[in-house]
Chain A
Amino acid sequence: MKQVVEELARRRANARLGGGEKRIDAQHKRGKLTARERIELLLDDKSFEEYGMYVEHRCTDFGMAETKIPGDGVITGWGTINGRTVYIFAKDFTVFGGSLSEAHAQKIMKIQDMALRSRAPVIGLFDAGGARIQEGVAALGGYGEVFLRNVISSGVIPQISVIMGPCAGGDVYSPAMTDFIFMVKDTSYMFVTGPDVVKTVTNEEVTAEELGGASIHTTRSSIADHAYDNDVECLLQMRRLMDFLPSNNQSGVPVVPTEDRFDRSEPSLDTLIPDNPNKPYDIKELILKVADEGDFFEIQQAYARNIVTGFGRIEGHTVGFVANQPMVLAGVLDSDASRKAARFVRFCDCFNIPIITFVDVPGFLPGTAQEYGGLIKHGAKLLFAFAEATVPKVTLITRKAYGGAYDVMSSKHIRGDVNYAWPTAEIAVMGPKGAAEILYRSELGNPEKLAARVKEYQDRFANPFVAAERGYIDEVIMPRNTRTRIARALNMLRSKTVESPWKKHDNIPL
């Protein structure tokens, strides 16, 4: 018996070494941690249970039969983050460069299946060289199976991808179908075809960083939701993120005990809106002063900064914030902002996370660039997302709510549950000046008369009461009491139920 136990210990020790000391050192030299170290950081101490430690590939071509390493380039299993179950797979760059073989894919599939069955999130850590070329089509098949499971799990359990090294070719599509992608600056990149292929095909000279580094994907392509300075910073933030996310689409949001009172008053919000309507202010101040403990996990912070999205808590319960940002482009809705917010709203709706929307929007961004780029359809995505969402929706108009953008931003008309406005709100078809110029075109030559018309329009519509009279606004609230009013509304909506007509699925304008 003792001998057998010793054999197990030997095999384990062997497997834990992965690609060996030399490769581990090389990994460290690149500023990266090994897959096992990453798992250690991500999960609660000693909570990791590894499965498939002894799996080896079955390839015999190109001399592969002689080089087998237990684990086959991916470490899989489950553990806990602050006591809550998560499934995990981490590509091991020290073993065949983390490349995907048939056996490697099967390990991931097993984890995906178990996660779906037990309704717990999956986190994938990517640091790999793509498909294992020696395996050919078997690797491609493996990818397909992983993709399918990503899709089936989508909207049932949260799936998070963290890119911590190379991620190219077939490897990119699994992360692309998960809920969030995070990257590590300088050490990670993602692209479908690498610089060499780009050079051959298009003659374009580009570095891996320029083609698919963290700065590209967080600011231009919007592929990644955030990037961190290094592995440690990133993984500790993933622990923080997971504390916001439900385990599955039926579990409800996690609750963290807090002593931050729901009725905390913030008198300084009474002066948040500047006297000059053309002066911007930082909407994040409102989010930080409303959320529990000022704790806000922003999603896509660097992309389409004219809209802010992210997670916070009210009375310990996770909520999603969507807010126009007057500091950037006056908070206008453009294609990028619409897509960014739409995806966030749909994530919240999938997982029963109530949505709090702060509105200060001057409208949609005019111009050929936007129209040619499909603003109509991108704007429609956000409209669709807000309208179809059946989670509790609390909306607050702080200042401008102009034109179609008013309707889009979780208005009463698209099933907003509680719609508040500050006394500074202006709900109108457009700004007073634009409106007067259209209504009184004949007086355009007379600036005095026109100014009077502008004033007239302003007095009539530059307030929340016209909308409140029609019931489009449920209540005009004191800015200082915003947290209290939102907390009470969410409490009241906790058992909200909405019946929707049967459908296979909807057809959001993709």
Chain B
Amino acid sequence: MFTKILIANRGEIACRVIKTARKMGIKTVAVYSDADIDALHKEMADEAVHIGPAPAAQSYLLIDKVIAAAKETGAEAVHPGYGFLSENPAFAEALAAAGIAFIGPNIEAIRAMGDKIESKKFAAKAKVSTVPGDLGVIKDAADAVKIADKIGYPVMIKASAGGGGKGMRIARSASEVEQGFNSSKSEAKSSFGDDRVFIEKFIENPRHIEIQVLGDKHGSVVHLFERECSIQRRNQKVIEEAPSPFLDAATREAMGAQAVALAQAVNYESAGTVEFIVDQDRNFYFLEMNTRLQVEHPVTELITGVDLVEQMIRVAAGEPLPFNQSQLGITGWALESRVYAEDPVRNFLPSIGRLVRYRPPAEGTQGGLTVRNDTGVYEGGEISIYYDPMIAKLVTHGPTRDAAIGEMSRALDAFYIDGIRHNIPFLSAIMQHPRWRSGALSTGFIAEEFPDGFAPRGPEGAELETLACVAAAIDHLSNERRRRISGQMQGDPVRFTDLRVVELGKERVALRVSGTLGEPVTVSFGAGNGSARSVTAVSDWWPGDPVWHGTLGGDAISVQVRPILNGVELTYAGIVVPVRVYTEREAELAALMPEKKLADTSKTLRCPMPGLVRAIDVIVGQEVKVGETLCTVEAMKMENILRAERDATVKSIKAKPGDSLAVDAVIMEFV
């Protein structure tokens, strides 16, 4: 076994690998760029080597630097993680030349599977089912119909030189093929100057399901069942699960067998993933094979109990797999949510900056439910522009899919991040989505269910009472405590009414609240109409705590709390709502207040300070979204980034880099 390994990666995956190495008693070496001087993976490793400036092309992608770092520290093997150099055959070759072990498959396998044509050939040889089609060039419409008839409808006509949907046609009948063939051909001609087209089977409402395989240097290959990754946004996976709610035992076995056959065809001897698309009749077709550890590997680990990183290291060191196929099974259900630094409300625009607050949910197993959070960041850390915007992978496991979803919802509710925008409300909204819960998925799920993008919703039905309870408990605690302020009048203490009106966005809920400081709060509804119900809210929440953890009538619940003027903003199950708790009289008077129109935002960007224009980041006519960088002004030797305060279009730009501006000088105007 190795005594020291280097991890040629950063972020959560580097941390993930270090954890297992540490468990195995192996020393670890991290590499880091200028942007990662304070990064978690650098802190966690036993040693760390600086390998260059922030851009990956000048650091994490430099084979020489990584190998030099391994030599310098005496690392005997390198784990590449995913991305960066993980599927680069040149890297594996260079390591071999340097006499350092690569914790991954052999070079030929990487090369074969990295090539689209080559991998299809291997797949065909291993009798893996591929998307039916004819890669040959089609002569005329009649020829096209003939081929389409053979493949079976529907089919997709694609431009050979294609891309971006140009020259693509779906045809469901012979006549549509004729039409589609001609229009596709002319469109291909005009778009690419190349009118060659080919025909492939069109998979309707496909699901993305992949098989995890694991091989050793002694010829054994097993599969560790499937993962379904159909919840994607623009080909970016968002939520993954294992097993798939769609596969039956026969399909699972067939897919597993094909995946193993393909792996064996390339003498696979590490962890890898064979990706398939599956149509709604459970026909599956080979897509590609990833010759590395996959981002979503934790869900497989949780249902099989196998530490994939550990097995990768062991097989790389020449150990045989400690199990055979019959010893592997599926236990329970696991889900993974990818927490990204992107703003779901603003078309998933990336968000960078300081993690002012970062409080992930508690990890561990309790009552058969597991929460795991793979992350590479910490509170006070920085999300930089240079790398992947993934903050964390939140993984839950439970005996059933419903249990795993329930646990994921709770874990997301408890996941508190401030300082940057993130997609947790969006992930929570998916967890609540009936179609997701029913398992009726396809890769079009997000596009179909969120056609106009995402906006957090307000509370409805029972959620109104739930959030009203939490808000009332929070308000009651704050009041009770404030009323213990020193310097009060002697004698009869001031009494406060216990009737409250909770304003949640535009909704109002009347309730009665009681309980002394340090004891559970009792909230009653419907006191007026004779159908009073009481809910006991138990929590050790204290003002300043970011998350209200507690029970309502015995049910555990986590709600995020952010102070706003005279109230709190609550975040729960994809809901984000401002809440104010009023006495009846306050509510009556608040109702008299006119609704404020949004403040008139100025149509000009003015220089907020005397300074030097460093950069103008937009051009005339450009549409800018709120928060987008408009320009940088240097004042007192400090760079100040001026951002758009609302969505707008740039009408004119009055300043240029190098200009010295007075305060309030107009920099640009908006339409």
Contact = CB atoms under 8 A, between A and B. Distances in A.
A329 B640 CA distance: 8
Nearest to B356: A285
Given A82-B488, A233-B566, A328 B379 contact: no
A385 interface: no
Contact of A257 (B355, B484, B585, B609): B484
Contacts of A228: 565
Contacts of A247: 487
Contacts of A281: 354
Contacts of B671: none
A293 B49 CA distance: 40
B544 A329 contact: no
Contact of B482 (A31, A82, A269, A271): A82
A255 B485 contact: yes
Given A292-B544, A431-B637, A28 B496 contact: no
Contact of B593 (A45, A84, A231, A272): A231
Contact of B489 (A80, A237, A329): A80
A293 B545 CA distance: 7
Contacts of A501: none
A78 to B, nearest CB: 10
Interface in B580-602: 583, 585-586, 589-590, 592-594, 596
Nearest to A284: B356
A271 B544 CA distance: 21
A113 interface: no
Given A232-B586, A326-B638, A47 B494 contact: yes
A47 B636 CA distance: 53
A255 B542 contact: no
Interface in B454-487: 481-487
A137 interface: no
Contact of A44 (B354, B358, B378, B494): B494
B563 interface: yes
Contacts of A31: 593-594
B592 A83 contact: no
B622 to A, nearest CB: 25
A254 B589 contact: no
A398 to B, nearest CB: 14
A203 to B, nearest CB: 24
Interface string A278-291: 11110001000000
B495 interface: yes
B368 to A, nearest CB: 33
Contacts of A295: 543-544, 563
Contacts of A254: 485-487
Max chain B CB contacts within 10 Å: which of A46, A293, A431? A293
Contact of B487 (A33, A37, A251, A367): A251
A84 B596 contact: no
A403 to B, nearest CB: 12
A294 interface: yes
B494 A80 contact: yes
B592 A267 contact: no
A85 interface: yes
Contact of B37 (A233, A240, A275, A279): A275
A362 B486 CA distance: 40
Interface string A230-258: 11110011001001001100010011111
Given A270-B380, A275-B37, A329 B635 contact: yes
A231 B566 CA distance: 12
Nearest to A187: B594
Mostly helix, strand, loop or mixed at chain A's interface?
A: loop
Contacts of B637: 278, 330, 362, 431
A267 B542 contact: no
B356 A44 contact: no
A260 interface: yes
A272 B380 contact: yes
B381 interface: yes
Contacts of B38: 271
B380 A278 contact: no
B496 A45 contact: yes
How would you classify the secondary structure of chain B's contact residues: helix, strand, loop or mixed?
Answer: loop
A323 to B, nearest CB: 16
A279 B639 contact: yes
A293 B482 contact: no
Contacts of B583: 45
Contact of B493 (A83, A329, A330, A365): A83
Nearest to B546: A294
Given A45-B583, A328-B608, A329-B609, A84 B544 contact: no
A271 B40 CA distance: 12
Contact of A83 (B485, B586, B596): B485
Max chain B C-beta neighbours (<10 A), residue from A83, A229, A328: A83
Contacts of B482: 82, 243, 256
B235 interface: no
B132 interface: no
Nearest to B639: A278
A348 interface: no
Scoring A85, A254, A255, A268 by chain B CB atoms within 10 A of each residue's CB, the highest score goes to A268
A255 to B, nearest CB: 4
B114 interface: no
A144 B283 CA distance: 92
Interface centre among B37, B357, B486, B565 (most CB of A within 10 A): B486
A328 B609 contact: yes
B610 interface: yes
Interface in A257-314: 257-260, 267-272, 275, 278-281, 285, 292-295
Contacts of A45: 494-497, 583, 585
Interface string A393-435: 0000000000000000000000000000000000000010000
B494 A82 contact: yes
A237 B586 CA distance: 13
Contacts of B488: 80, 82-84
A184 to B, nearest CB: 10
A326 B638 CA distance: 9
Contacts of A231: 589, 593
Contacts of A156: none
A415 B185 CA distance: 85
Given A37-B589, A84-B487, A269-B380, A294 B596 contact: no
A84 B485 CA distance: 8
B497 A268 contact: no
A230 B566 CA distance: 12
B638 A330 contact: yes
B489 A293 contact: no
Nearest to B662: A369
| 4 nearest A-B pairs in the assembled complex, by CB-CB distance | A268-B380, A83-B488, A293-B544, A330-B636
Interface of A: 28, 31, 33, 37, 40-41, 44-47, 80, 82-85, 185-186, 228-233, 236-237, 240, 243, 246-247, 251, 254-260, 267-272, 275, 278-281, 285, 292-295, 326-330, 332, 362, 365, 367, 431
Interface of B: 37-38, 354-358, 378-382, 481-489, 493-497, 542-544, 563, 565-566, 583, 585-586, 589-590, 592-594, 596, 608-610, 634-640
17 contacts: A33-B592, A37-B589, A40-B589, A44-B494, A82-B482, A83-B488, A84-B485, A84-B489, A255-B485, A257-B481, A268-B355, A268-B378, A271-B382, A278-B639, A279-B639, A326-B638, A365-B636
